[in-house]
Amino acid sequence: MRFSCSTTAARHTVKFGVLQFPGSCDEVDALQAARRVGDAELIWHAQRDLQGAEAIVVPGGFSYGDYLRAGAIARFSPVMESVMEFARDGGLVLGICNGFQVLCEAHLLPGALLPNANLRFTFRQVELDVVAPDTSFTRASDGLTRLSIPAKHSWGRYYADDPTLDELERRGQVVLRYASGHNFNGSLHDIAGVSNESGNVFGLMPHPEHAVDALIGGSTDGLTIFESMRLTVEGARV
Amino acid sequence: MSDSATLPTVQDALALGLTRAEYELVCAHQSSPPNQVELAMYSLLWSEHCAYKHSKKLLRTLPTEGEHVVMGPGENAGAVACGDGLVCAFKVESHNHPSAVEPFQGAATGVGGILRDIFAIGARPIAVLDSLRFGEVGGDRDQRSRYLLDGAVSGIAHYGNSIGVPTVGGEVYFEAPYEQNCLINAMALGLAPRERLVRSAAAGPGNVVILFGASTGRDGIGGASVLASAELGDEHGDKRPTVQVGDPFEESKLLECSLALLDRGLLVSLQDLGAAGLTSSASEMASAGKVGIDIDVSLVPLREPDMEPFEIMVSESQERMLCVVEPARVADVLALCERWEVHGTAIGAVTDTHRMRVFDGPALVGDMPVSALVDDCPLYDLSPARPTTPIYAPPTATLASGACPRECLLALLCSPNIASRRPLFERYDAIVQSRTVRRPEQADAAILAIRHPGEQARVGEDGAGTDGADTGAGGNGGSGNGGPVPALAVSIDCNGRRVAADPYRGTIEAVLECASNLACVGAEPLGTTNNLNFGNPERPHVAWQLTEAVRGLGDACRALDAPIVGGNVSLYNETSSGPIYPTPVIGMVGRLPDARTAGRLGFARAGDEIALVGPFAPSLHASELSKLHGHSLPDELPGIDIAAVRSAQFAVRGAMRVGGLSSAHDIAEGGLAIALAECCLAGGCGAEVRLDALADQDDDNHDPLRVLFGEAPGGFLVSGIATGVRALGRRTRVRIIGTVCSDALRLDLGELSLTASLAELAEAHGALAELFL
């Protein structure tokens, strides 16, 4: 399903809220990426007010230092209570890297992220297969079946038990998979990005906000994710 | 002082690293023997690490002024103007001895320390580079080197990745003289609006001194004097408690809090706490401002109870800052600290006494003239003497002397000093902050967009997205509105083996190589920083190395108009097995007007011409090949025509800026053949090259190995369309040597013909991966 943007864009811009925890690292990158498709503001972790955001991005980094377990503390922050409510009401929530870990810790997404198979922080440009091109986070892919996006993390090995994995596959919740030879972290089923059952919450380990500018890194494939969110929010307004 | 009952003795002073004469001088300044607090503070501020007592006279000979310099040596970091009302702050610093004792925390806190130096002057850190030296790897005695390498890389990754500052480049060498004394140098860059820059000088008697950040513990006590200013002995495991422990999360909050305080104009001055902790921070702030400071140690938040006043004053606990604040603004400062969950506490005041006074509650426990502490440490003249016998043993041969050129090529490619650094770079986040125009191994220098590209995209877009296909970045770059994207370029370099062969010329070569790296991406130098890593300066041969290296550093920086804006000296890098190679690590920052034409090192297009550019006259002296063959170091390096090298840099830079070249790469370790292989691998292209012209013109003895693998400064390997490449010839020497082709490197030289497929080259070049399995 593809929304027409020429008619809706004129009305008003989609507003993204990007969470900011102490220890977040990629929140400004996500903010600037979101601003390429809409408006975006940072939302401080200690506040509950989502400031009218129509889509939420939980960014990468090391929230609260990640000393206990990645994402384990951030999940209890005041802002996350509001995000959980926002998600239950059908609001779009994107979790990137540490944000993905936070969403799993908050049980907004199934499964968990374990230490990489190589047990090291690894930064690498990876290729991702778009397994589900019609979701709220991929509908702008428009025939693009392969995304080139950088990944950088220590805890990115996607894990869920077998019944859960079977359910994810059956319901089409696996949105992005590492292309052959690119699953350096050892994720089960090569899962790079997964959504919740109702499709409004999505997390991925690679960083689409770092693939939005041809000069910085060569790929703009990450814009697909933000543009898809914009289209989804605008479509829902009708 | 009334507590004279247990005054420390001269023996205590010696144990803290002071000499007998220095102790007597302290007594004279104090008019009586110092008490424990005073002796501890003097011993640190009069240490080599803080007082530069063996290097200060030499450093005064360096060029420190230039049209771009905004802040020179003497502040926490230097700064140069980089256009648009912005300044770039940068500095390199060492954490060698802590890392030799405990590599993970030593390297991590090295990164933390250099980042604090950057934000202490009001700049937001935008990049880290590192310069590492370890003993040989790959033999059967390499366990220690591998342990240090793995620990140091992990520590740098832990701190840099967690705090959200990209590690965009660096260098590493493996040489036997570093086996017991590794080098961990970290360089950081930051950006600031010029008006946000702040100095460290305390001012305004009556103003309040606030300590903020982490609480103070017993970690790192005596680090500067005991660890950093003496040779490492066999028992250095005992010194592990003198190594600090880093917390990047705390520093991340401290960074944001410091910049927020400066943005609101709440601070008179700001200083980080590094080596010698509160002692050096407070004393240096007082000295720079020609005032006094009173500190009450009973107000300092402690990590553990019952710390002695001297321990509080000398603790090197990490992630702490000291600032001077007008009384009316104290409440605002503390409130902002609370917002960032950073502990802020008023612990003292600026005075007009010109004395550094330490109180423990009401009791005065230390009282010293600021000038005596900071400025009156005796400076020593070196007694340099050129060694008459070799200082360093020849390296162990790893390649048979009769090896054919093809064997030499592959052996060099997989040797630890040349093999791909990807296994290290992959451990670091190189892209956070979205400024990284070239990732490691894509170009000779790292390139960082000065403005956040997203900001530029918004300017031309009127806020709203229009169509998904056109949103955001334009096809040719990130500016969105199609305008130029000014950027910084940065390089760090030093080939210690060549400096060991010839400290004067080897240091010039290191400076030239940095500038050549900048030229290859299209950047001109703005300023230079350096970290002088040497052995024990009290030994005449080390003093000679140091003196010659500083002379070379000054000559090269003057010739290139790349003044020194800051730096660091690390001496006593020496163990019972001798000194390290003299290692003056050079960091150079440059600017390019438009990152959209920034150079790459890899060949880009089949059919492009390949040219050797510049006054390149290779020799096998002190080359990587001679190391593999186990040859001892020569007594000197060939002479260098700096002006000719500068002309070649100018030509390459200009051609790159107008888009005349597809690639440019500086010829360094392993010579021309290795540079060709690196260009092939980085671009995924092959090359067909004929080198007879070189041999005919230059070679007296027609040694093909010298042509293929000889080293010298001033050589560039460029590729591009014929008109672009040949246009370089107006300014410098250009020799067309071949063309870019599909998938193999083929070299012809007289009778010799050598072919290696890209796959073979890649396999050899990937040799370091096994160090990290």
Q: DSSP secondary structure string, B335-402? A: HHHHHTT--EEEEEEEESS-EEEEEETTEEEEEEEHHHHHT-SPP--------SS-SSPPPPP-S-TT
Indicate the residue of B154, B164, B596 with minimum beta-carbon distance to A215.
Answer: B596
Q: How far apart are CA B200 and CA A97, in angstroms?
A: 38
Q: With an 8 Å Cβ cutoff, are B452 and A28 in contact?
A: yes
CA distance A31 to chain B (A): 9
- Is the confidence at residue B142, as pLDDT, over 90? no
Q: With an 8 Å Cβ cutoff, are A65 and B248 in contact?
A: yes
Scanning the structure block, which residue is given the tokens 């220095």?
Answer: B22
Nearest CA in chain B to A62: B162
Q: With an 8 Å Cβ cutoff, are B427 and A6 in contact?
A: no
- Is the confidence at residue B41, as pLDDT, over 80? yes
Tell me, what amino acid is at A27? E
Instruction: Report pLDDT for B240.
Output: 52
Nearest CA in chain B to A98: B162
**Residue B54 catalytic?**
no
Give residue-wise pLDDT tens across range A97-151: 999 999 999 999 999 999 999 999 999 999 999 999 999 999 999 888 999 999 9
Instruction: Report pLDDT for A73.
Output: 81
Region B102-118: mean pLDDT is 93
- Looking at beta carbons, which residues of chain B come within 8 Å of A41? none
Cβ(B35)–Cβ(B3) below 8 Å? yes
Nearest to A208 by CA among A132, A162, A147, A120: A147
Nearest to B441 by CA among B602, B671, B610, B659: B602
Nearest CA in chain B to A28: B433
- Is the confidence at residue A56, as pLDDT, over 80? yes
A to B CB pairs, distance under 8 Å: 163
Residue environment code for A105-129, b if the CB has 16+ CB neighbours within 10 A, otherwise e:
bbebbbbbbbbbeeebbbbebbbbb
Give residue-wise pLDDT tens across range B747-772: 999 889 999 999 999 999 999 988 87
Taking residue B389's Cβ as centre, other Cβ atoms within 10 Å add up to 5
- Is the confidence at residue A5, as pLDDT, over 50? no
Tokens of A68: 């206990």
Q: With an 8 Å Cβ cutoff, are A5 and B596 in contact?
A: no
ipTM, two decimals, is: 0.93
According to DSSP, the residues that pair with B491 across neighbouring strands are B588
B71 contacts: CB under 8 Å, gap ≥ 6 = B77, B78, B79, B87, B89, B121, B197, B199, B565, B566
Please give the domain boundaries of chain A with CATH numbers for all domains. 5-237 (3.40.50.880)
CA of residue B32 relative to chain centroid, distance: 42
Distances (CA, A) of B333 to A20, A192, B206, B610, B656: 22, 44, 16, 59, 48
CA distance A164 to chain B (A): 32
- Is the confidence at residue B382, as pLDDT, over 50? yes
β-strands B436-438, B574-575: how paired?
A: unpaired
Indicate the residue of A26, A29, A122 with minimum beta-carbon distance to B426.
Answer: A122
Fold of domain B7-46+198-377: Phosphoribosyl-aminoimidazole Synthetase; Chain A, domain 2 (3.90.650)
B690 contacts: CB under 8 Å, gap ≥ 6 = B737, B738, B747, B748, B749
B97 vs B383, higher pLDDT: B383
- Looking at beta carbons, which residues of chain A come within 8 Å of B154? 120
Q: With an 8 Å Cβ cutoff, are A120 and B427 in contact?
A: yes
- Looking at beta carbons, which residues of chain B come within 8 Å of A9? 464-467
Give residue-wise pLDDT tens across range B447-503: 999 986 544 333 223 322 222 222 233 333 344 457 899 999 999 999 999 999 999
CB contact B731 to A (< 8 Å): no
Q: How far apart are CA A55 and CA B765, in angstroms?
A: 46
Structural domain boundaries in chain B: 7-46+198-377
Instruction: Report pLDDT for B232.
Output: 60
The residue count for chain A? 238
Give residue-wise pLDDT tens across range B239-262: 555 567 788 999 999 999 999 999
Residue B578 has φ and ψ, to the nearest 5°, of 115, 180
Q: Hey, of A8, A155, A215, which one would you mutate to test binding to chain B, going by the most B CBs within 10 A of its CB? A: A215
Cβ(B213)–Cβ(B75) below 8 Å? no
B674 vs B54, higher pLDDT: B674
Cβ(B550)–Cβ(B747) below 8 Å? no
Residue B577 has φ and ψ, to the nearest 5°, of -90, 5
Instruction: Report pLDDT for B481.
Output: 55
Q: How far apart are CA B87 and CA B123, in angstroms?
A: 8
Q: How far apart are CA B149 and CA B173, in angstroms?
A: 11
Distances (CA, A) of B502 to A10, B346, B549: 68, 52, 9
Q: How far apart are CA B150 and CA B449, in angstroms?
A: 31
